[in-house]
Amino acid sequence: MQNLATADAVITDAQVRAILDELNAGDAGLHDLDRWAARSACKPDRVIVGPDITYVRLAGRAEHGGPVILMYVEQAWEQATRKPASPRVHDIGRHRAQRRSPVAGPSSLSTSRADHEAQLARTMAELLGPPSIA
């Protein structure tokens, strides 16, 4: 059996599924983690226990990069998934200029400000009624 207790070991998706199947096969919840860790080649690197959820980071890294994080929530073990990262903006000045440019399209700042001012004028007209001439 491969020793996965090192930080540079790669843990495959199949291994993660097998670990989850093993943990979910028991009915003792968090106590199953202790039993599993005692006999498994893959060891927990860090465990964070909360009132409603427990996170376990395994020693090693996922085959796609990053850590393997399991969580125990609602009496079941599952793999925590990361949200896709938002694209990085390398030139923040250019990014801001494009956002403010009227050429940027209907969602640009200048268009939305004009829309906002028009909506405000309509709302004020409704609230105040027609102008009265004294």
Global pTM value: 0.56
Q: What is the pLDDT along the chain (134 residues), one digit of tens a residue?
A: 344 455 678 999 999 999 999 888 877 677 778 888 888 888 899 999 888 888 999 999 998 888 999 999 888 899 987 655 555 556 666 666 666 655 544 444 445 667 767 776 666 666 666 555 54
Asked if residue 98 lies in contact with residue 104, where contact means CB atoms within 8 angstroms, the answer is yes
Burial class, 54, CB count within 10 angstroms (exposed 0-12 / middle 13-18 / buried 19+): middle
Alpha-carbon distance of 57 to 43, in angstroms, equals 9
Domain boundaries, the chain: 10-79, 100-127
pLDDT of residue 4: 46
